[in-house]
Amino acid sequence: MESIIFFVLAFFLLSGAIMIVFCKESIYSAIGFLMVMVAMAGMFALLHHSFLFLAQILVGVGAVVVLSIMIILSINLKDENQPQQNIMPSKIALTTLMVAPIVGLLLYAVIKADFTFAPIAPNFGTIEAMGKELFTHWVLPFEIVSILLLGAMVGAIVLSHRRLDVKS
């Protein structure tokens, strides 16, 4: 059962990823991204990370994807504003060849490490366990992430507040 769910999710994940990269229209890419995010949430669930599943749906899908789609719609990209680019098979092959060693290395190391799942603790992945872990061990990164978000916010505001007065 889990395997079937996994394969379905993996299918969606991969096809979403491929859509992102290979679709010409930005909106299809965005839909691919949505698929990836949702499927990713499913994966979390499959891994018994219930809180992560929730956070992924809320933040990943609810905020990031929606924001992306909104922006695509708001700037109303027309075809002539899109970069005219033909994705040639030869280029795909070349790039695939380039990433192959990276993938190979990762898989080589992963297979060599030979992981197995540990038995699940009763409250694994729950909000409670997560919260406890977060606030006993991970306070510092948590704080800094908040500062990061603040900084990113300021940066985004600065960028988007710009007037367009490029001097020649």
Partner 1 sequence: MIWDLYLVMPLALIFIGALFLMLFSLVQKVELANYNLVTVAFLTLSLIIELIIFQNVEHDYLFETIFAKMFIVDKLSTLFNILFLSGAILTLLINNNYFKSRDYYNGEFFALLLFSIFGMMMLAHTNELITAFISIELASITLYVLVGYNHHSLKSSEAMLKYIILGSLAGVFFILGVALVYGVVGSTYLGDIYTYLAHHQNDEMTLLIVGMMFMMVTLLFKIGAAPFHSWVVDVYIGSPFPVTMFMATTLKIAIFSILLRLFLVDFAPIYPIISEIIKAVAILTLLIGSLLAISQTQLKGMLAASSIVHVGYMLIALYAISLGSSFAASAIIFYLISYFLSAVGAFGILSFLASDEEKRHLSFDDFKGFAHERPYMAAAMTIFMLSLAGFPSTIGFLGKFYIFMSAIEAGEILLAGFGIMIAFISIYYYFKLIALMYFYPSANPKKKFPFSISTLLIVAMALMIVWGGIGTGLIPFIAGADGLLTIASEALKTIGK
Partner 2 sequence: MEALLSLIVILPFLSATILGISYLIDSKKNLSNTYYATIALTTPAIVTLLSFVLAFEISTMPHDTPLYAHLFDWIKVGQFHIEMRFMLDRLSMIMVGLVSFVGTLIHIYAVGYMQDDEGFGKFFAYFNFFLGSMLLLVVASNPIIMFIGWELVGLASYLLIGFYHKVSSNITAANKAFIVNRVGDFGFIIALSVLFIALEGKGFDFEAIKEGIEGLSSSTLSFVGALLFVGAMGKSAQIPLYVWLPDAMAGPTPVSALIHAATMVTAGVYMVARFGFLYNEIPHIGEFIAYIGAFSALMAALMASFERDIKKILAYSTMSQLGYMFIAVGLGAYGAGIFHLFTHAFFKALLFMGAGAVIIALHHEQDIFKMGNLRTFLPKTFITMLIATLAITSIPPFAGFFSKEAIINHAFLTQHYTLWIIAITTAFLTAYYMFRLIFVVFFAHSTKTYPHLIPLGKMIIYPLIVLAIGSATVGFLGIGHGFAHFVALPDRATPAPTHLLEYGLMAFNPLIAVGGIALAYRLFGTNPKPSKANIPIKALFIHKFYVDALYDRLFVSTLRSLSLFFDRVVDAKIIDGFLGLLTGGYRHLGVKLVSLQNGTVKTYATYIIFSVSLMSIALIYILEAQ
Partner 3 sequence: MLSPDAFLFVAVVIFAIGLIGLMLRRSLFVVYLSIELMLSSVNLILATFSRVHGEMGGGVVSLLMIAVIAAEAAIFLALIIYIYRITKSVDSQSITQLTHKRDEA
Binding site for partner 1 (CB under 8 A): 105-106, 108-110, 112-113, 115, 136-141, 144-145, 147-148, 150-152, 154-155, 157-159, 162-167
Residue closer to partner 1, measured from CB, 4 or 109: 109
Q: By CB under 8 A, is residue 49 in contact with partner 3?
A: yes
- Coil, helix or strand at residue 37: helix
Q: How many CB atoms lie within 10 A of CB 21?
A: 11
Residue closer to partner 1, measured from CB, 63 or 145: 145
Per partner kind, with CB cut-offs from 5 to 8 A, the member of partner 2, partner 1, partner 3, none near residue 101 is partner 2
Per partner kind, with CB cut-offs from 5 to 8 A, the member of partner 3, partner 1, partner 2, none near residue 73 is none
Residue written as token pair 């079937």: 4
Element (H, E) at 106: helix 89-113
Integer Cα distance of 75 and 91 in angstroms: 30
Q: Confirm if 125 and 48 have CB atoms less than 8 A apart.
A: yes
Q: By CB under 8 A, is residue 17 in contact with partner 3?
A: yes
Residue written as token pair 């994940």: 13
Integer Cα distance of 71 and 65 in angstroms: 10
Subset of 54-73 contacting partner 3 (CB under 8 A): 55-56, 59-60, 63-64, 67-68, 71-72
